[in-house]
Amino acid sequence: MATTQSDNDRAVEELDNIPSRLDPRFSVIGPGHDYASVTDKISSLVLTEKVGKGWWFGFGLSFLLTMVLLYSITWLLIKGTGIWGNNVPVAWAFDIINFVWWIGIGHAGTLISAILLLLRQDWRTSINRFAEAMTLFAVACAGMYPALHTGRPWLDYWLFPYPNTMGMWPNFRSPLLWDVFAISTYATVSFLFWFIGLIPDLATLRDRAANKTARAVYGMLALGWRGSAIHWKRYSTAYMLLAGLATPLVISVHTIVGFDFAISLIPGWHATIFPPYFVAGAVYSGFAMVLTIGIPMRRIYGLEDFITMRHLNNMSKVMLAMGLIVGYGYAMEAFFAWYSGSFYEWFMMANRAFGLYWPAYWALILTNILIPQLLWFRRFRTNTVILWMISIVINIGMWLERFVIIATSLAADYMPSSWEMYYPTVWDWAMFLGTIGLFFALMFLFIRFLPVISIFEMRELIHEVSHHSGDEKH
């Protein structure tokens, strides 16, 4: 029942005039599936004996970059943060840019899992599992930066409030400390939410695995889940509660990350628009990464019946909406710069657009504002190749946004005598590429060993869809 790319293209042309709710390609699940077929399709990706050469190639390349990461971190621990391009005044550079970038990417997973659940959107079902996994791996990559950029990372435990011989306690009035609590909580809650969601699927894998080791491992991880109705009742309650908790959590985490800048005094940082602007930007880049991963994955593993045009269409629309909010944020920054009457604010804006970092600023406008306007047109939202390229462009744009905010504001703030340019070193790039490698290595492992789509929720979806259409699907 898989549809090919050329089928999609022809269908888009023919059906461009039909509203999507009547378009069969935009149904939430492909036709002809029942409880058994969705179970078998998704678990077959895990329980297969042979893994394709493509998987080995992808994992191998990612693992190679992970080794680059290991090398960069080792050199960092030996020599210190001087190996990076950070200087005074640009004391924060790639370390914080990449931290914010990765955390932002992670936010889409939680939004899809939690917020779309509370809003009862059935199109979340086939994408929430791998999006949540993406969140976990993104948070893992992000968390390394604040931990390692402290200069003496072996003393990071000082960040936590514990009774010590020095009689000292952390400064709770600092956003950097709020980050410690926010990121720790976010990592923990995301992991728990993801794992809880996996338990019934691990039970499915336990029951279907032929290999003894696989059965034993999945069996232990499934905690003995047997699908008891009473257990399901408590499980659904816990799941809904976690969704309700994760929703304000995800908004608060990137707000607190935005506070890292907004609580300061630097022109271009000290803006009250930062919390909502950062959260919208996070969702923007997160959905872009979900599409960057999801579009090849659905093609390679034949999941077009589960991740349909409806999902791609809806995700594109969310991205477009978030992109418009981010664009509004840029416009407001420019407006504040003029309306405030502050010479320093005005200079900050002029410096961003026409100063020595002007290529970064205009690349940002191109990648974050101009190119994503293509998403207004259904032709582009439903063309998987173009959508994939747009999603990569958006992620580059969101990285540039953090670069522009951090590097330009720090390089030229209040006193000209303190001005200095920032240039990244090879170790900055090595560590960044290394984290990208780690992220994809973890994604490949996830695809290999765990179900990329939530099996029990897909069965629930089949149940709901068959009830709506009136016929029984077994």
Partner 1 sequence: MEKRPPIYGIMAEFHSPEALVAAAQRAHGAGYRRMDGYTPFPVEGLAEAVGFHKTRLPLLVLIGGLTGLIGGLGMQVYLSSVAYPLNVGGRPLVSIPYFIPVTFELTILLAALTAVFGMLALNGLPMPYHPVFNDPRFEMASRHRFFLCIEARDPQFDLEKTSRFLQQMSPDDVVAIEH
Instruction: Assess 238 for contact with partner 1 (CB under 8 A).
Output: yes
Instruction: Assess 106 for contact with partner 1 (CB under 8 A).
Output: no
Phi-psi category of residue 141: left, alpha or beta, with phi > 0 → left and psi -120 to 50 → alpha: alpha
Instruction: Assess 211 for contact with partner 1 (CB under 8 A).
Output: no
Q: Considering only residues 432-461, where is the footprint of partner 1 by CB under 8 A?
A: 456-457, 459-460
Instruction: Assess 390 for contact with partner 1 (CB under 8 A).
Output: no
- Residue 224 or 341 having the CB closest to partner 1: 224
Instruction: Assess 234 for contact with partner 1 (CB under 8 A).
Output: yes
Of the candidate residues 171, 359, 417, 471, the single one contacting partner 1 (CB under 8 A)? 171
Q: Considering only residues 186-205, where is the footprint of partner 1 by CB under 8 A?
A: 188-189, 192-193, 196, 200, 203-204
Instruction: Assess 71 for contact with partner 1 (CB under 8 A).
Output: no
Tokens of 395: 């992620």
Tokens of 295: 């579009």
- Nearest distance, CB of residue 155 and partner 1, angstroms: 17
Instruction: Assess 220 for contact with partner 1 (CB under 8 A).
Output: yes
Instruction: Assess 4 for contact with partner 1 (CB under 8 A).
Output: no
| Piece of 135-143, 234-242, 371-379, 402-410 that binds partner 1 (CB under 8 A) | 234-242
Q: Is the dihedral of CA 64, 213, 216, 113 positive or negative?
A: positive
DSSP assignment letter at 168: -
Rounded Cα–Cα distance for residues 32 and 29 (Å): 9
Rounded Cα–Cα distance for residues 68 and 282 (Å): 27
Residue 71 CB burial class (10 angstroms; 0-12, 13-18, ≥19): middle
Instruction: Assess 229 for contact with partner 1 (CB under 8 A).
Output: yes
Instruction: Assess 208 for contact with partner 1 (CB under 8 A).
Output: yes
Rounded Cα–Cα distance for residues 450 and 214 (Å): 11
- Residue 320 or 458 having the CB closest to partner 1: 458
| Piece of 169-177, 317-325, 395-403, 408-416 that binds partner 1 (CB under 8 A) | 169-177
- Nearest distance, CB of residue 461 and partner 1, angstroms: 9
| Piece of 143-151, 236-244, 325-333, 436-444 that binds partner 1 (CB under 8 A) | 236-244
Contacts for 115 with CB less than 8 Å, ≥ 6 apart? 243, 247, 250
**Whether the Cβ atoms of residue 189 and residue 246 lie closer than 8 Å to each other:** yes
Task: Lay out the site mask for partner 1 across 136-165 (x = CB under 8 A, - = otherwise).
Answer: -------------------------x----
Instruction: Assess 226 for contact with partner 1 (CB under 8 A).
Output: yes
Report which of 303, 290, 345, 307 is spatially closest to residue 105, judged by C-alpha positions: 290
Of the candidate residues 18, 64, 118, 223, the single one contacting partner 1 (CB under 8 A)? 223
Other beta carbons within 10 angstroms of residue 68's beta carbon come to: 19
Of the candidate residues 230, 359, 416, 417, the single one contacting partner 1 (CB under 8 A)? 230
Q: How many amino acids of this chain bind partner 1 (CB under 8 A)?
A: 64
**What secondary structure does DSSP assign to 364-375, as a single string?**
HIIIIIIGGGGG
Instruction: Assess 10 for contact with partner 1 (CB under 8 A).
Output: no
| Piece of 71-79, 117-125, 218-226, 432-440 that binds partner 1 (CB under 8 A) | 218-226
| Piece of 112-120, 173-181, 291-299, 404-412 that binds partner 1 (CB under 8 A) | 173-181
**What secondary structure does DSSP assign to 183-202, as a single string?**
HHHHHHHHHHHHHHHHHHHH
Of the candidate residues 54, 82, 227, 302, the single one contacting partner 1 (CB under 8 A)? 227
- Residue 64 or 238 having the CB closest to partner 1: 238
**Long-range contacts for 2-10 (Cβ within 8 Å, ≥24 apart)?**
2/302, 2/304, 2/305, 3/30, 3/304, 5/299, 5/384, 5/385, 8/309, 8/382, 8/383, 8/384, 9/383
**Whether the Cβ atoms of residue 360 and residue 400 lie closer than 8 Å to each other:** yes
| Piece of 3-11, 245-253, 349-357, 401-409 that binds partner 1 (CB under 8 A) | 245-253
Report which of 28, 98, 283, 27 is spatially closest to residue 291, judged by C-alpha positions: 283
- Residue 72 or 204 having the CB closest to partner 1: 204
Report which of 188, 151, 155, 183 is spatially closest to residue 170, judged by C-alpha positions: 155
Q: Where does this chain bind partner 1 (CB under 8 A)?
A: 34-36, 39, 161, 167-173, 175, 177-178, 181-182, 184-185, 188-189, 192-193, 196, 200, 203-204, 206-208, 219-220, 223-238, 241-242, 245-246, 248-249, 252, 256, 259, 456-457, 459-460, 463, 472, 474
